[in-house]
Amino acid sequence: MNDHSPSSPGGLKGAPDVRAGRLDAEAYAKNFADLHPPLSAHEALVEADRCYFCFDAPCTVACPTSIDIPLFIRQIQAHNPKGAAKTIFDENILGGMCARVCPVETLCEEACVRNLAEDRPVAIGRLQRYATDAMMAAGEQPFARAAPTGKRIAVVGAGPAGLSCAHRLAVHGHEVTVFEARDKPGGLNEYGIAAYKTPEDFAQKEVDYLLKVGGITIETGKALGRDISLDELRADFDAVFLGLGLAGVNALGAAGEEAAGSAVAWIAELRQSLDLAALPVGRRVVVIGGGMTAIDAAVQSKLLGAEEVTIVYRRGPQAMKASLYEQELAQTKGVLIRHWARPQRLIVENGPNGSYVVGIELERTRETDGRLEGTGETYALAADTVFKAIGQTFLPAALDGAAEAIALQDGRIGVDEERRTSVAGIWAGGDCILGGEDLTVVAVEDGKRAAESIHRALTG
């Protein structure tokens, strides 16, 4: 056990051990190499041959973007990977990224009927990557733009929802301007996903590929509410799509939480780092949360050289938003997951250079009649770094000042099935809307659905 009670200061006190360069260059390269190397042509054919090509295609039903999975696998089987890519891109223009980061184990691959016949489903995600990589490597654009419509649409946010919406509108012949607050487009794909899932700057390569369709202009460093206003966009454009994402971070509610770092911000810093050896990491890291951000922060801390990394979650493994596969991945990388524990306070000490974390006090929890409650029993873990990964919130301040207010529901933008907001001429999608699921593939579907609705509205 690595528990240390607060009454045993020897386990908690001491200068923090947070530093860069814990590993050699070879170790960094190995640790952050491609998590799932691409299939060879032979491997893809063998895997495609395992598909039953079900007439009711439960895998397609399970896909949020409704990709015709049996069709694209049959096209791979017929030695036509580019045709397979066209089938994928018709429904999901970010199919390359989704092939890498989608939780296929809880979507298409979980629905695969191969699970009923044997233990392993068809590797749909890896086959999707094989096909999309082939098309992107060839530099071929499978879409031809329709005749210009003369309509102009503003898209706010160059994340998966905004990019998906912009691409579909451009294919329909509209002119699209995308306003992005950060220095780079890509949103979650560029800033929020573990580096070992998207090596070799794939997120930007995918954006560049998407833009080849034409008709899309991206203006970075333009934030809604700071550089542009909703009223200005409504006046200058025929329609507006909001793909704002989630900019706020939930509060921990524990004493001393200001000493904890944001896992979201740290992952973004890591993703933009040109030299992983220069990125400091603690020797003992604790990550609070149970979703993909917690997993990504914990695993990458371990890959950077942290000796002890612990994820703390208040409920059991089945309640974690991260899939069981991702939980197992973290554990195989050396991450310890402690369930049924919630933070009470961060243990902080003062030094010559200011205060710093030396540990965290946790209370054991239990579930009674579906309700989480504390047991009153506490223990402490030594830690020189604590990350919060307990979810993000939508910050509606960017919408302030508009002549007509957009209706919110449960703190997010309310939309109908076509992703229309309460204000005429404004659509929204991705994590900022009610029901947003923090998944690239769901955001892509939101953007696509909104684009089709916008197209119908503008062309009658």
Confidence of residue 6 (pLDDT cuts 50, 70, 90): very low
| Tokens representing residue 206 in the block | 């995918």
Give CA–CA dist 199/271, Å, rounded: 10
The whole-number average pLDDT for the span 72-100 is 97
Task: Identify the CATH number of the domain defined by range 152-247+394-459.
Answer: 3.50.50.60
pLDDT tier, 436 (very low <50, low <70, confident <90, very high otherwise)? confident
Measured distance CA(256)–CA(326) in Å, rounded = 29
pLDDT tier at 5 (50, 70, 90 boundaries)?
very low
| Fold match, 9-31+250-391 / 41-138 | no
Instruction: Report helix, strand or coil for 139.
Output: coil
The residues that bridge with 379 in the sheet, in sequence order, are: 362
Indicate if the pLDDT at residue 315 is higher than 90. yes
Read off the pLDDT of each residue in 214-225 and give the average, rounded to a whole number: 97
- The superfamily in CATH containing domain 41-138 is Alpha-helical ferredoxin (1.10.1060.10)
Distance CA 126, CA 166 (A): 26
**C-alpha distance across the termini of the chain, in Å:** 67
- 127-137 in b/e burial notation, b at 16+ Cβ within 10 A? bbbbbbbbbbe
Task: Tell me the pLDDT tens digit for each residue of 367-389.
Answer: 999 899 999 999 999 999 999 99
Please tell me the distance from the alpha carbon of residue 335 to that of residue 323, in angstroms, as a whole number: 15
Residues 6+ apart with CB under 8 A from 326: 103, 292, 295
Q: How many CB atoms lie within 10 A of CB 456?
A: 11
Instruction: Provide the residue ranges of all domains of the chain, joining segments of one domain with +.
Output: 9-31+250-391, 41-138, 152-247+394-459
Strands 239-242 and 152-156: parallel
pTM score, whole prediction: 0.93
Using alpha carbons, select from 97, 93, 300, 106 the residue that is nearest to residue 188: 97
pLDDT tens, residue by residue, 95-140: 999 999 999 999 999 999 999 877 799 999 999 999 999 999 999 9
CATH number at 9-31+250-391 = 3.50.50.60
Residue 423 has pLDDT above 70, yes or no: yes
Contact 384, 39 (CB under 8 A): no
Instruction: Pick the range with the lowest mean pLDDT from 40-54, 181-195, 247-261.
Output: 247-261
